[in-house]
Amino acid sequence: MVVGIEHWIGFNLFLLAALALDLGVFHRDAHAVRPREALTWSLIWVALSMVFAALLLFTVGSRYALEFVTGWAVEKSLSVDNLFVIALIFSYFGVPAKLQHRVLYWGIFGALVFRGIFIAIGAYALERWDWVIYIFGGILLITGVRLALKQEDEEDVAHNPVMRLAVKLLPLTSRYDGQKFWTIENGRRVATPLFLALLVVEASDIVFAVDSIPAIFAVTREPFLVYTANAFAVLGLRSLYFLLADLLPRFRYLRFGLAAILVFVGAKMLLIEVVHLHPALSLGVIVLLLGTSIVASIRAERLEIANGTAETPAPPRS
């Protein structure tokens, strides 16, 4: 796939324009993002992703278009696991609903930067050393097994290394000051809980990127496709969070579907010299695994409701 510097510059200008419009126009005033608004933006980002896939189809061919869609589906699926952690972080810090978009906005801005760096490193390593693909595959297999075996209460924000380091090194306040990450208290500049929440969200995304970046390299070796698929998936993460935040606890089997996806792409990398799957087949397997876990979660909840054993649903976000 021939990609010139103008393609990289053009796509990054598009990202900067989208981010500027998001914060400067559509979310200039802090407000709680409601499900209808979140659904609208989720559909917009999905539509933009498919438009980009169509551009690839008519300019460079169906192979690369399909690789982009498959890579986007992988990143979109794996990002759902990050939503659980984000919900936990917001709950721990008591981030008001009207301020959550601001944290996600800057968190995703940082995520794009860090993922761009990781993608460059990964692409360089794969180009220079072919055996790196087996390391990536091994990482994904181990991560998939760990995710399947993980207990639901393992996440502990208070013991997050970034959180503990920030508490030791930064002057902090326990009060919020509107949308400010930093404020003045007793004559000195201090970080608000909003800034701490941003730091932990950013750190969690870096951890997830270590899993998701190798996963997409199992789909395509084209750095431009890896980067653009990541960008579209990450940009749609905010609206997806606000759309699914209240529903996440109901998807009890989702992590098993995500774990199966990680194991599948990991095995695909380890067997790359033996098994060659068409991108369309890989996409079908990923959709099937994710869909099966969601359907199983819904059926289990309905069965509990029918038997009168369902738990009382959590109250909506404030």
pLDDT at residue 217 tops 80? yes
Work out the pLDDT band at 78, boundaries 50, 70, 90. confident
pLDDT on residue 152: 58
More confident residue, 126 or 250: 126
Q: How far is CA 309 from CA 248, 254, 301, 306, in A?
A: 19, 21, 9, 8
Question: What would the two tokens of residue 105 be?
Answer: 């906005």
Question: What would the two tokens of residue 287 be?
Answer: 């959709």
| DSSP assignment of 217-229 | HTT---HHHHHHH
Mean pLDDT of 293-304: 84
Q: What is the percent of the chain with per-residue pLDDT over 70, rounded to a whole number?
A: 88
Check if the beta carbon of residue 80 is closer than 8 Å to that of residue 240: yes
pLDDT on residue 158: 67
Mean pLDDT of 134-156: 76
pLDDT on residue 287: 85
d(CA 215, CA 70): 11
d(CA 167, CA 277): 48
pLDDT at residue 24 tops 70? no
Averaged confidence pLDDT in the chain = 81
Q: Mapping DSSP to helix (H, G, I), strand (E, B) and coil, where does residue 315 land?
A: coil
pLDDT on residue 146: 82
pLDDT on residue 53: 92
pLDDT on residue 315: 46
Mean pLDDT of 63-86: 84
pTM reported for the whole predicted model: 0.79
Beta bridge partners of 190: 183
Judged by average pLDDT, the poorest of 48-62, 92-106, 150-164, 265-279 is 150-164
d(CA 294, CA 277): 25
More confident residue, 315 or 116: 116
Q: Mapping DSSP to helix (H, G, I), strand (E, B) and coil, where does residue 129 land?
A: coil
pLDDT on residue 29: 66
d(CA 315, CA 10): 44
Work out the pLDDT band at 318, boundaries 50, 70, 90. very low
Q: What is the residue type of 276? A: H
| 152-190 pLDDT tens trace | 555 566 677 878 888 888 888 888 888 888 888 888 888
Check if the beta carbon of residue 203 is closer than 8 Å to that of residue 162: yes
Residue 131 has φ and ψ, to the nearest 5°, of -70, -10
d(CA 265, CA 289): 12
Q: Helix 254-270 and helix 279-307: axis angle, to 10°?
A: 160
pLDDT at residue 195 tops 80? yes
Token pair 């993980």 is at which residue? 150
